[in-house]
Amino acid sequence: MALVPMRLMLDHAAENEYGIPAYNVNNMEQIQAIMQAADETNSPVILQASRGARKYAGENFLRHLILAAVETYPHIPIAMHQDHGNAPSTCYSAMKQGFTSVMMDGSLEADAKTPASYEYNVEVTREVVRVAHSIGVSVEGELGCLGSLETGMGEAEDGHGFEGKLSHDQLLTDPDQAVDFVEQTQVDALAVAIGTSHGAYKFTRKPTGEILAISRIEEIHRRLPNTHLVMHGSSSVPQDLIELINKYGGTIPETYGVPIEEIQKGIKCGVRKVNIDTDNRLAITAAVREALAQNTKEFDPRHFLKPSIQYMQKVCAERYQAFGTAGNASKIKQVNLDDFAAKYAKGELSATIKKAVTA
């Protein structure tokens, strides 16, 4: 079976009230770990690549690695997603490469650094949706900027993000604006700002309501009950992996991620896609450091790459179980892009908006 639209998976997740982790990939070992975990748990898969990943791996290499996953696991629905597209041109190039889903991140201007106006965000996102839906490709938009409610600072990861002071309003997605944004753009999924950020250094303490606004997701979901919400920067930063890294020479300071139980609250309130990258990076780093330290004479890369697959597979399988994804791959009837293009053209997949109830 070919790659499938991400919207297909998100609709099934919404109907059955679960979330799907979206894992960033850069190389063969990461893809193998994710697919082994998905096969073990019978889970649908979202493989996503940033602009940095596409540059690092090479367009053709990355595409064929993902196609190899499709060929090896034909029973598992797989979506290939462009993460944080900085401009329409990035999204269009991804579509040409066979991506079945793209993110147009119009919260920042094309330089991927400068916070954009709301009008700009609507304009570029709407244009990408128009092109993508005509060929059955799903679109994720973003409203609000990723950054820390604890420090008020934005953050950059892999060359994408604003580094500097942001207002409280910029760090939290406005529910009323979210309704207008979805209505105007017709995005399939909406990434919301709630105080999460990319990387391992999200919080200096276990996050509570004032620095991780899960309640904002609840508000947005009440207004947009049929829109698939997305949590970015949602790695949990497992303490055992940090301890293992530091045991074998690492110097990662005390830091905290997004607790699993908080993500589960988000899933109950309409979150269908949960972006995870750092947890997998930590798993790989822990495995590599441990393997090299335990056998200092070894020089075969497979010596540390094999355990890195195993450690990352364990993390991925745990997330599939925790988010309710497990057991659902075989329940999704795989549909191709042409079928979805026809559905978009007929208006069958148009966003439905729930107007605010006034007292």
- Distance from C-alpha of 176 to C-alpha of 358, rounded to nearest angstrom: 13
Q: Using the 8-state DSSP alphabet, how is residue 165 labeled?
A: B
* Phi, psi values for residue 270, rounded to 5°: 100, 0
* Phi, psi values for residue 152, rounded to 5°: 80, 10
What are the start-end ranges of the H helices in the chain? 6-16, 28-41, 51-57, 59-72, 88-96, 118-134, 168-171, 175-185, 214-223, 239-247, 260-268, 278-294, 302-322, 337-345
Dihedral, CA atoms, 294, 300, 306, 309, nearest 10 degrees? Answer: 100
Rounded to the nearest 5 percent, the helix, strand and coil shares of the chain are: 45, 15, 40
Cα three-residue angle 10-14-18, rounded to 5 degrees: 90
**Residue 43 CB contacts under 8 Å (≥ 6 apart), including other chains:** 20, 37, 76, 320, 325, 326, 327, 328, 329
Q: What is the CA radius of gyration of the chain?
A: 19
Q: How many CB atoms lie within 10 A of CB 275?
A: 25
Q: Using the 8-state DSSP alphabet, how is residue 116 labeled?
A: P
- Distance from C-alpha of 231 to C-alpha of 95, rounded to nearest angstrom: 23
**Catalytic pick from 11, 83, 300, 338?**
83
SS3 call for 193:
coil
Dihedral, CA atoms, 10, 11, 12, 18, nearest 10 degrees? Answer: 50
Is residue 83 annotated as a catalytic residue, yes or no?
A: yes
- Could you list the active site residues? 83
